[in-house]
Amino acid sequence: MTPGIIPHWSEAIRRWATSADQVEAVWAFGSRVKGRYRPDSDLDLALIVAGEDDQERMGNAICMAPRWEAELQALLPVKLHLHCMEPDDVIVTPAVREHGTLLYSSLKLSIRSAQAAARVS
């Protein structure tokens, strides 16, 4: 259990991700995962988006991210920041590797294998 993420939030995120066709994995990261959060802290979520190649993944992320963020925000009582992971990202991907908590994976990946997938996808 992650102290800054209430269990029913995790369950709501998993249910949402199950219905989001192009979402392969969802991680929580940031202050709520590290235990350095305040009551008004946001919830940072990182997604791996499906696609045949980098361009398709990026296109899917650009097209769908606003909708996904709105859907998730409607489910959660905390300010949400949604990030789509890219292997060459210098902020989100390293943070997920360092302290991310895997909340959902359509591929039934372990956190280590999912992080490896994020590095090569």
- Report pLDDT for 1: 60
Pick from 33, 42, 114, 107: which is nearest to 72 by CA?
42
Structure tokens at 28: 């929580």
Q: Among residues of the chain, what percentage have pLDDT more than 70?
A: 88
CB 36 within 8 A of CB 72: no
Domains located in the chain, CATH noted: 7-120 (3.30.460.10)
- Report pLDDT for 65: 94
C-alpha distance from residue 116 to each of 46, 87, 94, 112 (Å): 15, 10, 12, 6
Per-residue confidence band for 19, with pLDDT thresholds at 50, 70 and 90: very high
What's the rounded mean pLDDT across residues 20-27? 94
41-54 pLDDT, tens digit per residue, is 999 999 999 999 98
Residue in the structure block whose two tokens are 């991310």: 100
- The residue type found at 10 is S
**Which pTM value belongs to this model?**
0.85
